[in-house]
Structure 1
C-alpha cells in the first residue's frame, strides 16, 4: 500500500540506500515461489529497519512474523558480534526458504550473529523465551496485535524499541469499519494503546502501510 504518488515514492526509494544483493535475491525467489509476496517488507521499509537496527545496535531481537525472512535480514544488518535474533512464524512451509537465506547471511558475516527460527503460535512461544530483548518487530496476524504487545512487554529491556507494521492497514483506520472486518477494530485499539501507554514514547510513520516506532521508557 502506497500513500504517496508513485513518482514521488520512486524518488524517495532512489535516494535511499540500495538493498543488498541477498535481499534482491530473496525478493526474486519470494515472488517466484510464494503466494502473497506483497507481504514482503520491501526495499524502502527494509532500509528503514536496517537503519533503526544500526542506530540501536541491539544484542537481542525478537520478530513476530518471519514470512520469507526479508525483515529479519534487514534488522540483522545492524546487530553486533555475539548478538541473537529470534524470529517466529506459524507457517512451517516457509521455514526452509527463509532458513537458506539466514544461513547465507550469517556465513557472510562469519557467523558473528545467531538467527533462530521458531515455528508455532507466537503467544505460546514468547512466554518460553529466556532473557529480554532490545528490539522487537511485530508483523504477524493483526487480530492478535494487542495480545502480542502485552506478551512482549514482559520481555523487553528499558530503552528497547518496538516496531509495529501495517498500522494504517491500507487506509482502513480512517474509514468506516465493515461489520465483517476483524482486523481494523483491533488496529484502531492497538494504535490508541501505543500512544497512551505511559511506559512508551511512540511515533507513527507513514512508511508503506504504516510503521510505528515505540521506545520503552
Structure 2
C-alpha cells in the first residue's frame, strides 16, 4: 500500500537530504542481485534513520535484521567516536554484499556482523545500547522487543519497522494472517507499555519510535 501518492513521495525525497553515493550504489546492487529488493530501507527512510541516530548520538547500536546493510550504514552515521554497531541476520547468502559495503564505508571498524538467530545472539552481547532497530521476522517482534529492552540504556530509543504492514492493520482481518495479528497486538501493547514512550510515524511502511523511560 502507498500511503502517499508517487508524486508526493518523489517530492519528499527530493527535498530531504540527498542519498549518499555509497548507499545509492548499495541500493542499485541490491535491486540487481538480491531477492525481494523492496525490503531495502531506501533513500527516504534511510535519511530518517540517520537523523534519528544523529539526534541520539549513540555509543552502541543494535540492529536486528541486516538484509544487505543499508539501514546499518544509515544508523552508523550517528555513532559516537569509538562507538559500535552490532547487526544480526540469519541469511549467510547476504554476508558478502553486507561486508563489501561495510568495508567501503567510514564505519568499517565500528560494525560487527552476527550470523544467527537474534534471540540466541542478544543475550551474549556485553554492551548496553542507546539505539536499537528491529526489522526482521514480524512473528518474532514481541520476543525481539523483550530481548532488546533489558539491553537498553535509560533514555535510549527502540525503533520497529513495518508496523503498518502495508495498511493491513486497518483492513478487515484474515484470521489466518498471523503477522498482522501479532503486529496489531504489539502496536496496542507498546502504546500502553509504561516502560516506554511510544509514537508511530507514517514513514514508508510505518516506523514505531519508543524511548526508554
Normalising by the smaller structure, the TM-score range is over 0.9
Aligned partner of 1:192 in structure 2 is: 188
1:118 aligns with 2:114: yes
Q: Give the deviation of 1:104 after TM superposition.
A: 0.9
Secondary structure, counterpart of 2:12 in structure 1: helix
1:179 aligns with 2:155: no
Aligned partner of 1:66 in structure 2 is: 66
Aligned partner of 1:145 in structure 2 is: 141
Aligned partner of 1:24 in structure 2 is: 24
Q: Give the deviation of 1:179 after TM superposition.
A: 2.4
**Could you report, residue by residue, the CA deviation over 1:63-95 in whole angstroms, capped at 9, with x for unpaired residues?**
000000000000111112100000000001101
Q: Give the deviation of 1:2 after TM superposition.
A: 2.5
What are the within-5 Å matches in structure 2 for residues 154-169 of structure 1? 154-169=150-165
Unaligned runs of 5+ in 2: none
Give the Cα separation in 1 of the matches to 2:127 and 2:6. Answer: 43
Aligned partner of 1:56 in structure 2 is: 56
Q: Give the deviation of 1:180 after TM superposition.
A: 2.2
**Could you report, residue by residue, the CA deviation over 1:113-136 in whole angstroms, capped at 9, with x for unpaired residues?**
510000111011111111210000
Q: Give the deviation of 1:196 after TM superposition.
A: 0.7
Question: RMSD over aligned Cα, in angstroms?
Answer: 1.0
Secondary structure, counterpart of 1:135 in structure 2: strand
Aligned partner of 1:85 in structure 2 is: 85
Could you list the runs of 4 or more consecutive aligned residues of structure 1 that deviate by over 4 angstroms after TM superposition? none
Q: Give the deviation of 1:187 after TM superposition.
A: 0.3
Give the Cα separation in 2 of the matches to 1:77 and 1:85. Answer: 10
Unaligned runs of 5+ in 1: none
TM-score by length of 2: 0.97
